Amino acid sequence: MLHNELAPEMNTRILLVDDDPFILAMLESSMTALGHAFDTAEDGEVAKDKLKQGDFTLVLTDLTMPRCDGMQLLKHIKDEYPQIEVIVITGHAEIHGYTDVIRAGASDFISKPFGLDELEAKVRRVIREQTLIRKLEHLSMCDMLTNLYNRRAFELKLHEEIPRAHRQGYPVFLALLDVDRFKEYNDHFGHQAGDQVLQEIGRILVQCTRENVDWCFRFGGDEFAIIIPYATVAQVEQIADRIQERYGHGSRYASTSLTVGLAQFLRRPENSWPEDIAELVARADKALYAGKEQGGNRVIADPSLACPAKLSPTEDH
């Protein structure tokens, strides 16, 4: 399983929104009968608060409600939570029809009065489509050999994690790893043996990093990467040392070793986010190749690890 992944199988949680207590109670009974986890909100404003607090996959909302109606709530969800699907429930006298709500981003439309069979069919269809999309996203982000995240996922996660760390004031480190003498090993023992080396490294990275905190990637070829947030310099160096020791201890791949380059993200107000992120990767890469030039099988830290992290909030570029 991917380290830190959201599993492709959906853990469905549904938010039910209606200002009519009778309709809301009927929706609750339906969701209970169908076996779905759910929460309720009596209007769109309450729903907005619930969305901030919970992890929902689907919203079922009435159209006509006080304070914030269904169309306003739908727009809010599509703007703020685009991964959440919405089914709109309407009465016959509504000014908005099927075409209006679908154009606004709803996944489906149910007219009152409705039966359990219709509700079940539409909810199951949306969940099934969400699950398929999640699986396709999973495959597009996965390195099939090692079952780690791939280079595409690395780029996306780095550009997501770095600005969040800056906003919240915690440090982020990057470790780049390379297999020493991998080409010679591959040439001598064959590509299948080389693949086993890469798979073993993938297992070691997962074992030596913190689940649901650190992010492990196959960066490309025989290079790997780890994004390490919420850590001290000492902890980062311990992770790198532990990976090296685990790989080298009694290894069947004794003719190979690992070199690790470490760098810490530093925010420079004169730079854009992409520039600072690219600089982080370049500094980790430079440290890695400094270690390779010294014979490999070592951990080299960029000088940034000796500097205080410049993570206090400043104006973003």
Q: Where are the beta strands (DSSP E) in the chain?
A: 13-17, 37-41, 58-62, 85-90, 108-111, 172-180, 215-220, 223-229, 257-264, 299-301
Q: How many CB atoms lie within 10 A of CB 35?
A: 7
Q: How many CB atoms lie within 10 A of CB 253?
A: 20
Q: Report the pLDDT value the prediction gives residue 10, as an integer from 0 to 100.
A: 52
Q: Report the pLDDT value the prediction gives residue 92, as an integer from 0 to 100.
A: 58
Which residue among the candidates 222, 276, 285, 302 is catalytic per the annotation? 222
Q: Report the pLDDT value the prediction gives residue 134, as an integer from 0 to 100.
A: 76
Beta-bridge partner residues of 16: 40, 60
Q: Report the pLDDT value the prediction gives residue 309, as an integer from 0 to 100.
A: 44
143 belongs to the catalytic site: no
Contact at 8 Å (CB) between 152 and 134? no
Contact at 8 Å (CB) between 262 and 301? yes
Question: Which structural domains are found in the chain, ordered by start?
Answer: 13-139 (3.40.50.2300), 151-306 (3.30.70.270)
Beta-bridge partner residues of 87: 60, 108
Record the pTM: 0.63
pLDDT tens digits in sequence order for the chain, 317 residues long: 444 443 444 578 899 999 889 989 989 998 998 888 999 999 999 999 999 887 898 999 988 888 888 889 999 999 888 889 999 988 755 666 667 788 888 888 888 888 888 888 999 898 888 888 877 777 778 998 999 999 999 999 999 899 888 888 899 999 999 999 999 999 999 999 999 999 999 999 999 999 889 999 998 899 999 999 999 999 999 999 999 999 987 667 778 999 999 999 999 889 899 999 999 999 999 999 999 999 999 999 998 886 544 433 333 43
